[in-house]
C-alpha cells in the first residue's frame, strides 16, 4: 500500500504541461434587439435560427475571408445571420470566437429574435430583418478604460490623421475585407495603435459614413481614454496605446478579381489613396513602428510606472450602450469600492480570515448595511486587464444556482482584485467528513443530499448555464455548506479570470489539486467536463468512506483511496469501505454501495468511459437504473511513477 511519490513528479508536471486550451476570445458586449419581440420555444423562428446558426458556424471553419452570411426560412419567419472576424484573425481564432459567440448570444439574449454580440476577435449578429447592405450605426456601444490623459485635445489632435487614414483605407477595401490598422505618435511618449473594420457587404460610402459616426463619437463618449472601442453592427473602431493587432498578417488576394473600383460616390469619402501611395504609407508605418517601438517602449514603461492611480479612486471600466442600460446597471451594481471592502473586512484582518484557497485568501466581511459577505483577495496578478477581468466577472455573476456560491460583485484597485461572494454559514465539507467528531453529525441522508446537490451544481456549470464552465478544482474544501447543510460549489470559473499568457508553456497552469485531478489533466494539461467528473468521483468516494483520497506522511502516500476502493469492490467487500459512523446506524447500505459504484464509474482511467454529470444525476436519482460495471480506475500515483522509469 505504501508508495513513494518522487518529489520530481511535481516538476514533471511542469514540464509536461503544454497549452491547456486554445485562447478564449475576450467577450465584449451583447446587444439584444428588442424591436421585433421574442420568439416562442419550438416556433418556426427558433427552428430557422438554429438552422441558420448551424450552417453559419461551420462556415467559419472553411472560409479565409472572415465574413459569413446565411439565411433560412420563409417570411415572416426568415432569419438572417452574419459573422465577421477581425481582419487580422487567423482561421482558428476566428472559428473559436464564432463558436463562443454562438453560445453566448443565445445565453445573453434568450428568445430574442435579434441579437449582436461583440468579441475581441469577432462579431455575430442575427435578426429577422435584412442585414446585408443595411447600414446600422446606431445600435452599438462603446467601451473604454479609465487610462485617460489630462489634455484631451492633445490626444484628439494626435489621432485625427490616423483615424482619417484608417477610415479611407477600410472603406476602400474590397468586397471580402474592409479592414485597416496602423499607428501614430500620441501625446507624451506614447504610440497609438488603431484599427477599423466594416462588414464588407457595405458599399464604400456607407462604410465610410459608419466609421465617421464612430470617429465622431470618440470625444463624446470616452473621457479621453487611451483605450477605446466603438462597436456598431456595421462597423467598429478601436485604438489603444499598446499594439493589439497583428500587423504581419498577409491578406490573400480576393477570390474573384473585383471590377476596377468605382470612384467614391458623391460627398464625404475622400478618394482612397492610389496603389503606390498606399504602399508608401504602409512602409512608413512599419519602419516608424519598428524603430520607434524600441525607443518609445523604454519611455512608455517609465511613463506608465510613474502614472499611478490616486489613492482611493474607484477603479472601474466603463461599458456603455447607446440607448440600452442593462449592461451598465449590472456592471455598476457589481462594483464595490476597494475602501468599502477593506472596511468591511476590518482591513483584511487576520481575525476575519476564513481560509486560504488556490487563488487567494478569503475573508469574512460585513457591509455597512449589515449584509455578511465572503471576500476573496486574489493573490497573484491575474495577468488580465481590468476590462477583461470585469467582463468575466459579469459572466460569472450571471450564473445562479442553489448549489453554487453566488458571486455578488468585485472590486479593482491597481493590481488588487477582490471578489465578493455570499457568505455561507457552515464552512466547507472537508471540515465535516474528515473530522473525527463532526463527521457523526452528518448522517447518510444528509450526505446523500450533499452528493446530489454537488452533482446538480456541477451539471449546471457543465451544461445548463450555456457558458460551459469547467471547474478544474472540485474538492471537499471547495464545497461549502449553508445553514441548512445545502452544498454550494465555490471557486468555479476561476480559470476564466486568469489569462493564458504567451509564456504559458513555461509555467504550470494546472489549477487542480493533487489527488482530485484526472490523469489526462495532471499529465497532459487536458481538461474537459470529464476531468471534473473524475474529481466528482473522488469526492463522492470521500463522502461515503470518510477518507481522504491521498494522505501523506513525509512525502509517502499512506493511503490511496481509489486503489483501495477498487480492490475491495472487486473482492466483493465494498461495504467495508463505508464510513463506520454511517455503517453502524443506517439501513441504507445498498444506496451507499450504489454510490461507491457510481464513484468508481466517475474515476475510470479513460475519460470516455466516465459518465457525464447528466447521467450521474440520473443514476443518483433513480435507484432502479442499472449501472455499467466499472473497470480498474486510474491510479494516479502509479501512472506518474511509471512515467519516471
Ligand atoms: C423577451 O424576453 C425577455 C426575457 O426573456 C424579456 O425581458 C423581454 O421583455 C421580452 N420582450 C418582449 C417584447 O416580450
Ligand atoms: C418543445 O419540444 C420538445 C420536444 O419536442 C418538448 O419536450 C418541449 O416540451 C416543447 N416545449 C414547448 C414549450 O412546447
Ligand atoms: C450553437 O449554440 C447552440 C446553443 O448553445 C448549440 O446547441 C449549437 O450546437 C451551437 N452550434 C454550433 C455549430 O456550435
Ligand atoms: C474623466 O477624466 C477626468 C480627468 O481627465 C477624471 O477626473 C475623471 O475621473 C474621469 N472620469 C471617469 C469616469 O473615469
Ligand atoms: C452571402 O452568402 C452566400 C452563400 O450563402 C454567398 O454566395 C454570398 O456571396 C454572400 N454575400 C456576401 C455579401 O458575402
Ligand atoms: C501574425 O500573423 C502571422 C501570419 O498570419 C502569424 O504567422 C503570426 O503568428 C501572427 N502573430 C501573432 C502574434 O498572432
Q: What is the pLDDT of residues 605-621, one digit of tens each?
A: 888 899 999 999 999 98
Å from CA of 144 to ligand 4 middle: 12
pLDDT tens sequence across 428-446: 999 999 998 899 899 999 9
pLDDT bucket at 301, cuts 50 / 70 / 90: very low
Residue 353 assigned as binding residue: no
At 329-338, the pLDDT tens digits run 556 678 888 8
Identify the pLDDT of residue 252.
56
Is the CB–ligand 3 distance for residue 70 below 6 Å?
Answer: no
In this prediction, what percent of the chain has a pLDDT beyond 70?
Answer: 74
Q: Tell me, what's the pLDDT at 370?
A: 87
Q: Which of 467, 438, 599 is nearest to 533 (CA)?
A: 599
pLDDT of 213: 94
- Higher-pLDDT residue of 504, 292: 292
Give pLDDT, residue 241.
86
Give 382's pLDDT tier (boundaries 50, 70, 90).
Answer: low
Q: How far is the CA of 21 from the centre of ligand 3 (A)?
A: 19
Of 150-159, 220-229, 301-310, 417-426, the least confident = 301-310
Q: Choose which residue among 47, 55, 60, 103 to substitute to test ligand 3 binding: the one with the highest number of ligand atoms within 8 A of its C-beta.
A: 103
Give the model's pLDDT for residue 189. Answer: 74
* Cβ proximity of 96 and 460 under 8 Å: no
pLDDT at 260: 39
Ligand 1 near 134 CB (within 6 A):
no
Say whether pLDDT at 298 is over 50. no
* Residues assigned a catalytic role: 473
132 lines ligand 5 (CB under 6 A): yes
pLDDT at 245 over 60: yes
What pLDDT shows up at residue 397?
86
Q: Is 609 helix (H, G, I), strand (E, B) or coil?
A: helix
For the CA of 112, the nearest ligand:
1
Q: What is the pLDDT of residue 365?
A: 92
pLDDT of 556-607, one tens digit each? Answer: 455 678 888 998 999 998 888 999 888 776 678 889 999 999 999 999 988 8
Ligand 2 binding residues, C-beta < 6 A:
41-42
pLDDT of residue 517: 81
Instruction: Write the residue with the smallest CA distance to atom 6 of ligand 6.
Output: 249
Question: Which residue intervals of 307-440 are DSSP H helices?
Answer: 326-334, 338-344, 386-397, 430-433
Q: Provide φ and ψ at 573, rounded to 5°.
A: -110, 30
H/E element, 499: none
Q: How many angstroms separate the Cα of 588 from the Cα of each of 443, 445, 582, 622?
A: 11, 9, 9, 15
Using 50, 70 and 90 to split pLDDT, how confident is the model at 146? low
The pLDDT of residue 622 is above 90: no
C-alpha pair distances (Å), 6 with each of 192, 255, 268, 556, 635:
51, 58, 72, 9, 15
Testing ligand 6's pocket by substitution, the residue of 249, 251, 504 carrying the most ligand atoms inside 8 A of its CB is 249
CA angle centred on 455, ends 561 and 541, rounded to 5°: 15
Q: Say how many CA atoms lie within 13 Å of 400 toward its Cβ.
A: 5
State if residue 560 touches ligand 5 by the CB under 6 angstroms criterion.
Answer: no
Average pLDDT, the chain: 77
Among the bound ligands, name the one nearest to the CA of residue 502. Answer: 6
Higher pLDDT pick, 558 / 512: 512
Cell of 135: 447600414
Looking at residue 107, what is its pLDDT? 80
Question: Which residues does ligand 4 sit against, CB inside 6 Å?
Answer: 146, 148, 150, 223
Which pLDDT score is estimated for 634?
Answer: 72
The answer, yes or no, to whether any atom of ligand 1 lies below 6 A from the CB of 586, is: no
The half-sphere exposure of 173 on its side-chain side, counting CA atoms within 13 A, is 29
Closest CA to 364 of 346, 378, 382, 379: 346
Nearest CA to ligand 4 atom 10: 223
Ligand located closest to 332 CA: 4
Of 93 and 286, the structure prediction assigns the larger pLDDT to 93
| Whole-angstrom distance, CA of residue 239 vs CA of residue 232 | 15
Q: What is the pLDDT of residue 384?
A: 67
Amino acid at each position: 500500500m505504501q508508495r513513494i511519490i518522487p518529489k520530481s513528479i511535481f516538476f514533471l508536471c511542469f514540464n509536461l504541461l503544454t497549452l491547456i486550451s486554445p485562447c478564449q476570445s475576450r467577450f465584449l458586449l451583447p446587444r439584444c434587439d428588442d424591436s421585433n419581440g421574442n420568439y416562442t420555444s419550438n416556433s418556426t423562428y427558433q427552428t430557422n435560427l438554429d438552422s441558420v446558426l448551424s450552417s453559419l458556424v461551420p462556415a467559419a471553419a472553411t472560409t479565409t475571408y472572415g465574413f459569413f452570411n446565411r439565411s433560412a426560412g420563409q417570411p415572416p419567419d426568415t432569419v438572417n445571420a452574419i459573422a465577421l472576424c477581425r481582419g487580422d484573425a487567423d482561421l482558428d481564432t476566428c472559428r473559436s470566437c464564432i463558436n463562443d459567440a454562438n453560445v453566448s448570444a443565445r445565453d445573453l439574449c434568450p428568445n430574442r429574435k435579434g441579437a449582436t454580440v461583440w468579441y475581441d476577435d469577432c462579431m455575430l449578429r442575427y435578426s429577422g430583418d435584412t442585414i446585408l447592405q443595411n447600414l446600422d450605426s446606431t445600435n452599438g456601444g462603446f467601451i473604454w478604460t479609465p487610462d485617460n490623459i489630462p489634455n484631451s485635445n492633445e490626444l484628439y489632435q494626435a489621432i485625427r490623421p490616423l483615424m482619417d487614414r484608417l477610415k479611407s483605407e477600410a472603406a476602400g477595401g474590397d468586397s471580402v475585407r474592409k479592414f485597416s490598422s496602423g499607428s501614430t505618435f500620441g501625446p507624451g511618449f506614447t504610440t497609438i495603435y488603431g484599427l477599423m473594420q466594416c462588414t464588407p457587404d457595405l458599399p464604400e460610402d456607407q462604410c465610410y459614413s459608419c466609421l465617421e459616426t464612430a470617429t465622431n463619437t470618440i470625444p463624446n463618449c470616452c473621457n479621453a481614454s487611451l483605450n477605446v472601442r466603438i462597436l456598431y453592427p456595421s462597423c467598429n473602431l478601436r485604438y489603444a496605446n499598446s499594439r493589439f493587432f497583428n500587423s504581419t498578417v498577409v491578406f490573400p488576394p480576393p477570390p474573384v478579381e473585383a471590377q476596377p473600383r468605382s470612384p467614391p460616390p458623391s460627398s464625404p469619402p475622400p478618394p482612397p489613396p492610389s496603389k503606390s501611395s498606399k504602399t508608401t504609407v504602409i512602409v512608413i508605418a512599419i519602419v516608424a513602428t519598428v524603430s520607434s517601438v524600441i525607443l518609445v517602449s523604454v519611455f512608455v514603461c517609465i511613463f506608465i510606472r510613474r502614472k499611478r492611480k490616486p489613492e482611493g479612486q474607484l477603479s472601474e471600466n466603463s461599458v456603455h450602450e447607446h440607448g440600452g442600460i442593462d449592461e451598465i446597471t449590472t456592471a455598476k451594481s457589481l462594483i464595490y469600492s476597494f475602501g468599502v471592502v477593506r472596511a468591511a473586512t476590518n482591513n483584511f484582518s487576520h481575525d476575519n480570515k476564513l481560509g486560504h484557497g488556490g487563488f487567494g485568501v478569503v475573508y469574512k466581511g460585513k457591509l455597512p448595511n449589515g449584509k455578511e459577505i465572503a471576500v476573496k483577495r486574489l493573490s497573484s496578478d491575474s495577468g488580465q486587464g481590468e476590462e477583461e477581468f470585469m467582463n468575466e466577472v459579469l459572466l460569472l455573476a450571471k450564473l445562479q444556482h442553489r448549489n453554487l456560491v453566488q458571486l455578488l460583485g468585485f472590486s479593482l484597485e491597481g493590481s488588487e482584485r477582490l471578489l465578493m461572494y455570499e457568505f455561507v454559514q457552515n464552512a466547507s465539507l472537508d471540515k465535516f467528513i474528515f473530522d473525527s467528531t463532526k463527521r457523526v453529525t452528518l448522517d447518510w441522508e444528509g450526505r446523500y443530499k450533499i452528493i446530489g446537490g454537488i452533482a446538480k451544481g456541477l451539471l449546471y456549470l457543465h451544461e445548463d448555464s450555456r457558458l460551459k464552465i469547467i471547474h478544474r478544482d472540485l474538492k471537499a474544501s471547495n464545497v461549502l455548506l449553508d445553514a441548512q447543510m445545502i452544498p454550494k460549489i465555490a471557486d468555479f470559473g476561476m480559470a476564466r479570470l486568469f489569462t493564458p499568457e504567451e509564456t504559458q508553456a513555461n509555467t504550470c497552469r494546472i489549477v487542480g489539486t493533487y489527488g482530485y485531478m484526472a490523469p489526462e489533466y495532471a499529465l497532459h494539461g487536458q481538461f474537459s467536463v470529464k476531468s471534473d467528473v473524475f474529481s466528482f468521483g473522488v469526492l463522492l468516494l470521500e463522502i461515503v468512506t470518510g477518507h481522504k483520497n491521498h494522505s501523506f506522511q513525509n512525502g509517502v502516500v499512506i493511503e490511496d483511496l481509489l486503489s483501495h476502493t477498487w480492490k475491495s469492490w472487486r473482492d466483493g467487500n465494498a461495504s467495508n469501505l463505508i464510513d463506520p459512523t454511517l455503517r453502524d446506524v443506517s439501513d441504507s447500505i445498498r444506496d451507499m454501495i450504489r454510490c461507491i459504484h457510481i464513484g468508481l464509474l466517475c474515476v475510470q482511467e479513460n475519460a470516455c468511459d466516465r459518465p457525464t454529470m447528466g447521467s450521474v444525476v440520473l443514476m443518483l436519482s433513480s435507484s432502479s437504473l442499472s449501472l455499467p460495471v466499472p473497470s480498474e480506475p486510474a491510479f494516479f500515483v502509479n501512472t506518474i511513477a511509471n512515467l519516471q522509469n
